[in-house]
Structure 1
Amino acid sequence: MTELSRAAPVSFNPATRTFTAIAATSTPVKRCDYHGDFNEVLAVSGNNIRLDRLASGRAPLLDGHAGGSVRNQIGIIRSARVDNGELLVDVELSDREDVAPIAADLAAGIIRNVSVGYRVHAAEESTEAGVRTITATDWEPFEVSLVPVGADPAAHVRSIEEPSLSTTTPATTDLVEADRARAATINELAQRAGLTDLGVEHIVAGTPVADFRILLLDAIVERDADGEIPPRRSAYHDSYDDPAFRIRAAGEAVYARLTPGHEPSEQARPFLGRTLLDLARDSLRIAGIRDLGFNPPTTIERALGTSDFPLILGDALGRTLRAAYAAAPSGLKLVGRKTTARDFRDKHRLQLSEAPRLEKVNEHGEFKHGGLVEAGETYKVVTYGKILSVSRQALVNDDLGAFADLARRMGQAAAATEAELLVDLLLANSGAGPTLHDSVNLFHATHKNLAAGAGNLGAPSVTTLSVGRTAMRKQVGLSGELIDVSPRWIVVPPELETTAEQVLATIAATKSDDINPFSGRLSLAVEPRLTSATAWYLTADPASVDGLEYAHLEGQEGVQIETRAGFDVDGVQIRARIDFGAGFVDHRGWWKNPGA
């Protein structure tokens, strides 16, 4: 009878490209989390499923849960309903040309397996005979997929005459349940052996489990003899048995509690809602330390001595810290060139002049030799850092507000440190800038990048901007040749921000004298740390003309943190560090107006 049921024509209608599928049932599916294996059960009833998305007529049918591109959507869910323990969906397949082979396999009954993508909002956990079961009591399906092997062996494209569970006889129900168990067992054995395709083949063929075990053993022996032993991978491609994976997932879950707008990944979801005390107990269990009824302070103290718990805290703090660091940019970083340094030694920047002018070749075909003039500026990366602490009391109290505040302040402090270093460099030598390799300050009459004369000074205006642009256009290279330098940014203190915005604003000109030649050509960078209320700067595009350059140590971009259990403090210590350096590698890309 089972074989006859499998041979029944599927419900796919080629004329309308529609079919009905069982998207989910309450069949237990084996999963794995940080506690180990468990059975996941989706409670399939009208009170447990949020059907708004599927019932809206807009939910997608995907190819193998691939949701990264609209090309992976091969159809649409027109309606959904629950029928006595089964989530049924009515599907319309796309008529795209690339979907035609899928339609043909559906019509032939080759493609049968279905899987649902969902999000769990609430669940209940129970243990019976040593087996954990987590039942999703409030869950929301948001897509349905056609798959080679589904997690739920009972989810499939329905046959034309396949009855609902509500109309099956007890005998038929027993056969259906037996076949579901057979498919689930074969699927599990095949996945554990890394021979998923073989499992699919024999699930469809109706092979009994006992026969499949023999076939599977033969296949393993044959494969091993050929030396083709694939690496074993879990269904998640990563495992909570991997400490690094578990730490990242738990750290992200804590970060999600710190940051309400963060959408946690699927790996982090098992840890959502767990307090710091819960995570501390997990770390003790994983470290092999028995929970002897420790009170919360003792649990936290013991957990700080494990390798996992401080690293979980560090991961969560690091995410918050880096977000705050990225949200506090420097005005001067906008106009500098970003690079990296391999080590802490002086970073040499060679500047090559424009190639010498080509000369006429004589009648004998003789080419004359030219040369390139080299000039070098150096700077190096230096380490800056500080150690802060989170008290044991804050950990026991699950005080995530203290965590978030500390991390944000550290991130902002790291960003401020870099910004102040750039400003200090620009304002060195009483605002004249650093001394370059030619023993002349960055801004100097010799470099022709410093405004002088009463008529050329003052706040940004069409007149003063024109003076700066002309000076930059007349810059020459190391060999005395003209080079293409044009202003791209205007850098101002906050006191001149409004003035600069007015100058750069587009003017609805009524006569030619009103046209602003700089509108749309310059971008504004405001640096609140500039000490002069009147001085401002023009800079070229750092991608085309050398000027300000800053670097992080290679592989250590931005702020880095390390955590450890405190020895001289009662809690956990966090060390924040940046490896950062900056320097001016040429004067030609910058021009300064000291102001009135």
Structure 2
Amino acid sequence: MPKDMMNLPVIGRAASVRPETVNLEARTVEVVWTTGAVVQRARWEGWDDRIEYDEELLVTPEAMRLERLNAGGPFLDSHRSWGLESVLGAVVPGSVRVADGKGYATIQLTGAADAADRVARILDGTVRNVSVGYLVHSYEITRKQGEREHWRAVDWEPMEISAVAIPADPGAQTRAAGATPEPLFPCAVIRRVAEIAAPAAAKEALMPNPNPAADDQNAARNNAEQLQERAAPGGQAPGAPEATPPAAGQEAEAIAQRAVAVERERVSTIGDLCRRHGLEGEFMSGLIARGVSVAAAREQILDHIAERDPLQGRAHEPARPRDDGSASAGYRAAVENALQHRAQPGVALTDAGRDFRGMTLMEIARQALERSGVSTRGMSKMEVAAAALGQRSVGYHTSGDFPTVLANLGNRTLRDAYDATPRTFIAWARRASLSDFRPTTRVQISNAPKLEKVLEGAEFQYGTFGEASTQYALATYGKVISFSRQMLINDDLGAFTRVAASFGARASQLEADLVYAILLNNGVMSDGTALFHANHGNLGTAAAIDEGSLTAAYTAYAKQTDIDGTAIDVSPEFILVPPGQRALEARKLLTATTPSTTSQVNTYAGRLSVVEERRLLPPTGAAPWFLAASNSMLDTVEYAYLDGNEGVFTETRNGFEVDGVEVKARLDFAASAIDHRGLYKNAGV
């Protein structure tokens, strides 16, 4: 698709305050700062006409640059960004979230005297309108005959949120005050050229034609006509000259050339995919003639292969393959052992695996084919590799021993690396299994009600339970790695096993990243208050780890109450520290010693288990430390896998895009803070 650059200012959109979220004591309020709805806008591009278009914001984490806003973006008075007196507050760091196609954020309003009147109007509900200012870094533009252009922001960045008297006109842009010009920022504009050409010409361009030069000329003329119509709807813009401006003609010619190049690439790619899998003839011609995109063609090719071969060359292998006692299973186990010993010399060779010691991958592949009844006499290395990997290009399509051996080796290497990578959160967080990907509600139920004395002959009284809840859902993470014919011929087993081991380690690291992000990001709990907050009684005064700060922490635990307000018995069991000074302080204070005086006694010796975690070390500033209760005593953080898919899970198939074996590593995982009462934070000094 053609890509151009243009300069745009900060753009504004209406947003809304959620009045039910106003917290007068904390001076906070939640806003819905985007819904991504389609709005009509106007632009001026040098013609006399006012050109209108529809703008849509893609509201997904992938399309939105949320770092600036989520780090404490400003909350302004009417988009005034040129003076500190216009700052009414800031976005609470870590409170920005995207859910159900909407963007939410919590605003912390300032307590400054010069802003008191405006802040009071927001808190009492008099000012309910807000507006978000944002930059668009990339638009995808489509246009259909007789309709306005559709500008879809696929890469955009919220810059600030403002309290306003009247929400911004969707057709206007945020403007600076006075005569000061607005700063402009580069924006990539990607036009879908396939929709610029006339429908009839597009269909003809998709059909095989003995005279492609004539097709190119027709496409160029159609694109030029469409460009002129877009520039001057109805034939001519008011005040425009009779002839098409030279610049428009040049742009039309460029668009025509790009359209022809895109179409040629589509036809060539679809042809290559079909020929690779023996699908020439009517099927291939139909895909090309119907104008099917390359992405859609891939799906239809896969479906067609499935109709002809229900197995599609797929061989599902569990993470820990089992030996079923058959001759093939024994052979595969022996080859796997020899290859694993070659990649990891620490793995002991079995008696059966010793038979394959020193053999190259090509020698093993040729033997595997001969075992399955395929004669390799007269076959080149490339043909042997393709046949061993089950490729159709040489007439073989099997799920034989060799692809299974490679798949099992990749699975085993990946899983071993996953298990070997440290995950310190396992010590203090609680593990769970979820049966599906729907949001799961975790209900916190209070302790049983207090027992009361029952007089003789009197009735027993009914008690009640208080409860609160937290919701979270599983997400899927994954990558695909492949072993190609070239790697087989080059005997490059090490590259395959190193990548598999790296993916296994990355999966384990991802779990730890997600769990410790809960402590570091300090997100908002179901009660509308941050996880670590004075209102929760679990945020200490910044201090090093010493007798005084630990005493204050234990006191805070002792003051915790249940959901119904009754006191509870809970104390910390783990101290979570980053490497460096905090870890040194913790180990010194918790280590039993033989003191010579009472002042040298380590009063907390042996009372806490130290969990040292690198992710808690900040890039700058003081290093924080945390306490966590035993998860058997009280809910803290819960992490979960999909039921039956605990840890990293692998699937394999004969390659479709790659001539070889593909191994897909998948992790279904989620983590969430369930209850604040078992956790405590000190920001450190």
Q: Are the structure 2 counterparts of residues 436 and 249 from structure 1 closer, same or farther at C-alpha, using a change threshold of 3 Å?
A: farther
Amino acid at match of 1:547: T
- Give the aligned partner of residue 428 of structure 2: 335
> Conserved in 1, the CA contact under 8 Å of 2:577 and 2:613?
yes
Q: Which residue of 2 aligns with 1:70?
A: none
- Residue by residue over 1:106-137, the C-alpha shift from the partner in whole angstroms, topping out at 9 and shown as x without a partner, is xxxxxxxxxxxxxxxxxxxxxxxxxxxxxxxx
Cα gap change, 1:372 to 1:252, in 2 (>3 Å) = farther
Contact 1:458 1:534 in 2 (8 A): no
Question: Number of residue pairs matched?
Answer: 352
Which range moves more in the overlay, 539-548 or 281-290? Answer: 281-290
**Tell me, what secondary structure is at the counterpart of 2:544?**
coil
> Are 1:547 and 2:636 matched, yes or no?
yes
Matched with 1:193 is none
Q: CA deviation at 1:440?
A: 1.2
Which residue is 2:554 aligned to? 469
Equivalent residue for 1:357, pick from 410, 434, 450: 450
- The amino acid of 1:523's aligned partner reads S
Q: Residues 390 and 348 (structure 1 numbering): CA distance in 2 closer, same or farther, change over 3 Å? A: same
Q: Which of 605, 613, 623 does residue 519 from structure 1 map onto?
A: 605
Contact 1:349–1:376 (Cα < 8 Å) also in 2: yes
2:594 counterpart residue number: 508
CA deviation after TM superposition for structure 1 residue 285, in Å: 3.5
CA deviation vs aligned residue, 1:497-517 (integer Å, no higher than 9, x gap): 222222222222112221112
Give deviations 1:65-112, integer Å, cap 9, x for gaps: xxxxxxxxxxxxxxxxxxxxxxxxxxxxxxxxxxxxxxxxxxxxxxxx
Code of the residue aligned with 2:496 in structure 1: it is F
What is the match of residue 500 of structure 2? 407
For the residue of structure 2 that corresponds to 1:348, the secondary structure is: strand
Distance in 2 separating the partners of 1:435 and 1:385:
28
**Residue of structure 1 in register with 2:647 after alignment:** 558
**1:23: which partner in 2?**
none
Q: Is the alpha carbon distance of 1:472 and 1:268 closer, same or farther for their aligned partners in structure 2, counting shifts above 3 Å?
A: farther
Q: Is the 8 A contact 1:344 1:381 kept in 2?
A: yes
The counterpart of 1:487, out of the listed 546, 565, 572, is: 572
Separation in structure 1 between the aligned mates of residue 488 and residue 323 of structure 2, nearest angstrom: 32
Tell me by how many angstroms 1:389 deviates. 2.8
8 Å contact kept, 1:318–1:561 = yes
Partner of 1:312: 405
Q: 2:560·2:567 contact (CA, 8 Å) conserved in 1? A: yes
Quote the Cα distance in structure 2 between the aligned partners of 1:253 and 1:337. 39
Match of 2:147? Answer: none
Q: 2: CA distance between counterparts of 1:435 and 1:321?
A: 35
The equivalent residue for 1:569 is 658
Alignment match of 1:443 (pick from 532, 545, 567):
532
CA RMSD of aligned residues (A): 2.4
**TM-score between the two structures when normalised by the length of structure 2:** 0.49
Q: Does the aligned pair in 2 maintain the 1:252–1:315 contact within 8 Å? A: no
Within 5 Å, which residues of 2 pair with 1:374-453? 374-428=467-521, 433-452=522-541
3-state DSSP of counterpart to 2:523: coil
Residues 88-487 of structure 1 mapped to structure 2, 5 A cutoff: 238-241=324-327, 246-264=331-349, 272-305=357-390, 306-308=398-400, 309-428=402-521, 433-452=522-541, 457-487=542-572
The offset of 1:274, in angstroms, is 4.5
User: Equivalents in 2 of 1:266, 1:238: separation in Å?
Assistant: 18
Provide the C-alpha distance between the structure 1 equivalents of 2:594 and 2:381, rounded to a whole number of angstroms.
69
Label 1:580 to 1:365 Cα distance change in 2 as closer, same or farther (>3 A): same
Q: Kindly, what percent of the aligned residue pairs are identical?
A: 41
Q: Following the alignment from structure 2 to structure 1, what is the Cα–Cα distance between the partners of residues 375 and 536?
A: 72
Aligned residue in 1 for 2:241: none
Q: Is the 8 A contact 2:617 2:623 kept in 1?
A: no
Runs of 4+ in 1 over 6 A off after TM superposition: none
> 1:370 & 1:249 partners in 2: Cα distance?
65
Instruction: Describe the superposition over 1:419-468 as per-residue Cα deviations: whole angstroms up to 9, x where unpaired.
Output: 1111222222xxxx22211111111111110113xxxx212112111111
Larger-gyration structure (1/2): 1
CA contact (8 A) 1:248 1:315 kept: no
Q: Runs of 5+ in structure 1 lacking a partner?
A: 1-235
CA contact (8 A) 1:459 1:534 kept: no
Name the counterpart of 1:181.
none
TM-score norm. by structure 1 comes to 0.55
Cα deviation for residue 248 of structure 1 reads 4.7
> Gapped runs of 5+ residues in structure 2?
1-321, 391-397
- AA partner of residue 595 (structure 2): A
